[in-house]
Structure 1
């Protein structure tokens, strides 16, 4: 049997698994692999400026396609930079393979230059993490890692010393892609589980559905069961792109960034049906209602709130199986009230997204609304954690073709631009829009160079409010004077132009539509620096007494400390929101 190098066989296996690109930063411990990729010419190397961005990009590719994506880092600091992005991928439950190069095998354990312990570093953010120590071991270890990542929908890490990659091996490829990547099963509850589920739902009066990202591919079934139960549908953030569109039963979101209508529908039901969601905020669950949860992952059942029935199953298949057992002719009064509440809440939110030309106050809501209006019908949006996520959740309109990707579970800053890089590299023909916070963009600003050098036509919308906005809001809600949140930003449009990216800056509502249109229409990468109001409030659907007391306490402290102008600006910027709150 002829011998080949470990690196050559490694690259061939990745190609067999359908891998088309690897995101990373090269280094000597990766030289064997990168040279194999170059010679074979089957897999693209996407050169990012920071390995963290490479891991984020791989996570976004996996979110977009559902298929295995790959990132890599050289030994020591190189693969340590991967960790934050891998946590994002792991908590997003998407299949990512991370290649963590290692120091020369004979030096392991000697406190060698750049020595780390990848097995320990990555254990908490992976479903599989092992080191390849010999050429003969590599094929089985890599095959196992690929199956673990795709089967468990998580991160698998393979560490490999650079010298091992260069050795010869008699190892062989998997027989074919089907053997390497077996089809995922469709899980349906047994007869007993379906009978219990149907009985509980048939006995229910006012049902509300809470739908999450587990409803991907189940839009038709979701509409059918909502119609049968006459149930309003509240969507979690992760479910927005799969649930909200073409859905007359949708009444918005609940939670910290949700709507009053979603909150009221949850709290007013006597039975809550959870479909494919692990919505984490326990204070937004009803305390008196019965709770039924359907989820493909048994560990999610009952994790957030006490449940009366838990069913393990694929959402679409389970609804198909239980729907014929559900009675018809239900009263629709609860649904009608919920939809009326949603119409009022939606109207209030939409009114906040229109500024006054010439006022000098540019509301971020208006920027997000205009982006949604002008973006392509199949655009992919990525959103930074913090206030950009709020505006995306409230103002981006989904249609079944658009996608929305973010760090919804890990909650990391600086995710939007690297996510956009991964999406654009994967789908070069689609419009990709990064909704970036000024803090998030600045944290990994070097990735603007990745966008330019790789020729990726990403559109970057920067919400430039000069602060870590959501953190500032949390401080005010707790009655604190904001500290350490101010951002002394440059002109981001000028920075973009200096990097070879088309840059546009807007500061007033009069120029928003033209600015967004110019950026979206530009054939290459482009950036819009939208200088928005710093003091924009983003209220949760239900203000607690503690939060109201906190805002009052903040105002008093600000005045006493000579910051009365900040209180005046807060009121001036949010006059519409304050009026709507008083009118509830």
Structure 2
């Protein structure tokens, strides 16, 4: 794939499932597409002369171009089911690319590639990274800051398992692949509560590797009993709870649809207090100044450990491309919140996310 990109001087985008494989040490990387996306991937897809979809079954067709697309996949049932194609090839991607490469004329014009690379760098510096560093002193703790510290402090070959929902956003934007790490999740099915059982399987399969969950409080609540499985089998899984007392992705989806959040928030729960009698090392953090030390202690523990971090529910996932309909729905929802007396809620939301608007 890298040889193909080099020959064509073409940008390479990826989905969340391909992040830990395609992003590391890739000089053509322009980020990720989709609702969780960042960088210039969306723009590159829609401005390219030709788009190659290689072994991907990315399901969100609103983020895919509707023309000038060639798809290669070993499963013929996947060809053209997400977006119209000018050519579909039912074949192994690696075998096909190796056969095609000698037939291609090497391009020297890299103006399109360089433009997309510059836009990606700007996006990462001014939106993604700036937002993480700007929130490190805010309370409740911003999940971006937590995810950034986990990325910094985790082992080079750590395995991360990621719950469905907002945890996918923080993993997509703040975990750095290095050729050794793995990022596992329910990235197609959208099944809640997957991070903890996946961590159990990963730890059994790789007992000498550090396994860390990005667990939403909603997902963990659904499978609390699996904490006992971790303890019974003495698995050194590190459970990190993004505890915002909310079903964050559903809350955001309601706002985008034009509806104020309804029945998405729930009672505050101290998951550290629950896990401690089960035999876990536990730490609960509400102050961002305590977060680095707590993460360091939990990751260094020789046994099961749970880090319960109280995070803000107001951190929003803002994609790299915002449609008019999404913006209109969000504005309509906020208007309804204001009319119902929630001006303070809207102001808090705006302050929490102003740095995260794509520029």
The interval holding the TM-score normalised by the smaller chain is over 0.9
Distance 2:84 2:69 in 1: 7
User: Which structure ranks higher in relative contact order (CA pairs < 8 Å, sequence separation ≥ 6)?
Assistant: 2
Distance 1:558 1:384 in 2: 29
Please give the secondary structure, in 2, of the residue aligned with 1:523: coil
1:356-399 deviation digits (Å, cap 9, x = unpaired)? 55532311111111111111111111000000011101111111
Unaligned runs of 5+ in 1: 1-221
Distance 1:529 1:296 in 2: 42
Q: CA deviation at 1:540?
A: 1.7
Aligned match of 2:69: 291
1:313-369 deviation digits (Å, cap 9, x = unpaired)? 222222111111111133100000010010011112011112455532311111111
Residues 497/293 of structure 1: CA separation in 2 closer, same or farther (3 Å cut): same
TM-score, structure 2 normalization: 0.97
Please give the secondary structure, in 2, of the residue aligned with 1:574: helix
Is the CA contact (8 Å cut-off) linking 1:355 and 1:361 kept in structure 2? no
**1:179-258 aligned within 5 A:** 222-258=1-37
Distance 1:479 1:450 in 2: 41
Q: CA deviation at 1:545?
A: 1.4
Does residue 309 in structure 1 map to residue 96 in structure 2? no
Does residue 544 in structure 1 map to residue 290 in structure 2? no
Aligned match of 1:475: 254
Please give the secondary structure, in 2, of the residue aligned with 1:369: helix
Please give the secondary structure, in 2, of the residue aligned with 1:274: strand
Aligned match of 1:200: none
Aligned match of 2:229: 450
Aligned match of 1:366: 145
1:413-442 deviation digits (Å, cap 9, x = unpaired)? 000000000111111111001110000000
Distance 1:536 1:241 in 2: 24
Q: CA RMSD in A?
A: 1.3
Length, aligned pairs only = 358
Distance 1:235 1:390 in 2: 14
Is the CA contact (8 Å cut-off) linking 1:282 and 1:304 kept in structure 2? yes
Is the CA contact (8 Å cut-off) linking 1:260 and 1:542 kept in structure 2? no
Does residue 332 in structure 1 map to residue 110 in structure 2? yes
**1:90-129 aligned within 5 A:** none
TM-score, structure 1 normalization: 0.60
Distance 2:39 2:179 in 1: 25
Please give the secondary structure, in 2, of the residue aligned with 1:434: strand
Does residue 498 in structure 1 map to residue 251 in structure 2? no
Q: Which has the higher Rg, Structure 1 or Structure 2?
A: 1
Does residue 439 in structure 1 map to residue 218 in structure 2? yes
Distance 1:490 1:413 in 2: 18
Does residue 419 in structure 1 map to residue 198 in structure 2? yes
Is the CA contact (8 Å cut-off) linking 1:356 and 1:510 kept in structure 2? no
Distance 1:550 1:508 in 2: 34
Aligned match of 1:342: 120
Is the CA contact (8 Å cut-off) linking 1:357 and 1:508 kept in structure 2? no
Distance 1:501 1:354 in 2: 30
Residues 482/299 of structure 1: CA separation in 2 closer, same or farther (3 Å cut): same
Distance 1:407 1:420 in 2: 12
